[in-house]
Amino acid sequence: MIIQLENDLKEQDRQSLINKVKTEGFTITEVNTQVGAYLVCISKNSSDIRKIGSLPGVVDVHIVSDSYKLVSAKWKLTPSSILLDDIQIGGSDFTVMAGPCAIENEAQVDSIAQHLVANGVRIMRGGVFKPRSSPYSFKGLGKEGLVMFYNICKQYDLKIISEVMEADQIEQMYNFVDIFQVGARNSQNFNLLHALGKTDKPVLIKRGTSGTIDELLQSAEYIFSSGNEKLILCERGIRTFENASRNTFDINAIPILKKKSHLPVIADPSHGIGIREHVPAIALAALAAGADGLMYEVHEKPEEALSDGQQTLNFIESTDLLKRIKQLYDLL
């Protein structure tokens, strides 16, 4: 059960309300986000929500039977959206984020930033902390690389999304990113998710390679219930028996997530198929299936990229994709 509270509720009235609900046998999690205040109430018993709804300080009460609560579309029927200045993510807009897998050097960032600006993309992606299966692989330029990335993006008025790998990095990165990205391998790193609930910046959460749709929503619930409701879900392919592609992009997840949750859903076709020439097909498919946006990898010379070159578009391919995306978006 979710109880939406009046935002200006006095502490005394709040405690009195909480006490009343507790006597009904509920365990209560108090949630205060950028936007609202909620009580998430868990109990094995059912309760008369009308009685609770009429208590002072209560805006509304909702029964949510899902394992996730605050991110469920069962209580919040209209889609959520996030504003980065005048850029809207979710709602009726379609948002593109693009950039290299990893930030490599100034020249690389600058050329890609120019490409994005020239094509109307407003958010640039780029990793400086790279999770790599092998300890001997390139692990990114770290904080220093992020500052460089930030400085260039500022010149071009580009917003930044970049991956955070552990709670300690949040503070380091805070002034230099606009969206924190949680990678697939950290999709159930609950300590990291909890810590991200304490920031006020948006968080994009990638689905784990073997994470179910419900688990992704529960991971989002971790962040929301810790205080941050600026959330974006990202489908990026799951691990299956099929080896013809790097991952199996779960196109089904797009309409299912949109139905189950009010959060915006972004597609990552680069990881989703992992084959450069087929990335545009998956990007268009995701848009047709109802995604709220796209995050893909682009590089001036993909064949020279330090990582993920085989799934990274060059500028010509990227420009062409953006044109087709625009046409399709206008139609839909």
Residue 309 CB, shortest distance to a copy of itself, in Å, is: 15
Calculate the dihedral angle through the C-alpha atoms of 231, 237, 240, 245, rounding to the nearest 10 degrees.
-170
Helix (H, G, I), strand (E, B) or coil at 208: coil
- Among residue numbers 18 through 37, which ones bind a copy of itself (CB under 8 A)? 27, 29
Residue 151 CB, shortest distance to a copy of itself, in Å, is: 26
- Among residue numbers 101 through 130, which ones bind a copy of itself (CB under 8 A)? none
Of 14 and 194, CB closest to a copy of itself: 194
Instruction: Check binding of 243 to a copy of itself (CB under 8 A).
Output: yes
Instruction: Check binding of 328 to a copy of itself (CB under 8 A).
Output: yes
Instruction: Check binding of 67 to a copy of itself (CB under 8 A).
Output: yes
Contact with a copy of itself (CB under 8 A) among 9, 201, 281, 309: 281
Contact with a copy of itself (CB under 8 A) among 69, 125, 236, 262: 69
Contact with a copy of itself (CB under 8 A) among 287, 294, 313, 322: 287
- Residue 114, both tokens: 């120019």
- Give the number of other CB atoms < 10 A from CB of residue 305: 20
Of 179 and 282, CB closest to a copy of itself: 282
Residue 157 CB, shortest distance to a copy of itself, in Å, is: 31
Residue 240 CB, shortest distance to a copy of itself, in Å, is: 5
* Residue 272 near residue 74, CB atoms below 8 Å: no
Residue type, 190: F
Report DSSP state, residue 87: E
Residue 283 CB, shortest distance to a copy of itself, in Å, is: 9
- Among residue numbers 135 through 164, which ones bind a copy of itself (CB under 8 A)? 135-136
Calculate the dihedral angle through the C-alpha atoms of 8, 86, 127, 286, rounding to the nearest 10 degrees.
100
Residue 71 CB, shortest distance to a copy of itself, in Å, is: 11
- Give the number of other CB atoms < 10 A from CB of residue 164: 24
52 vs 61: CA distance, rounded Å = 7
Q: Which residues pair with 32 in a beta bridge?
A: 37
Of 117 and 328, CB closest to a copy of itself: 328
181 vs 206: CA distance, rounded Å = 8
Residue 123 CB, shortest distance to a copy of itself, in Å, is: 23
- Residue 188, both tokens: 């159930």
99 vs 162: CA distance, rounded Å = 10
List the x/- string, 248-267, binding to a copy of itself by CB under 8 A.
Answer: xxxxxxxxx--x--------
Contact with a copy of itself (CB under 8 A) among 36, 57, 91, 131: 131
Q: What are phi and psi of 84, to 5 degrees?
A: -115, 100
Q: Of 267, 307, 314, nearest to 286 (Cα)? A: 267
- Among residue numbers 201 through 220, which ones bind a copy of itself (CB under 8 A)? 208-210, 212-215, 218
Helix (H, G, I), strand (E, B) or coil at 312: coil
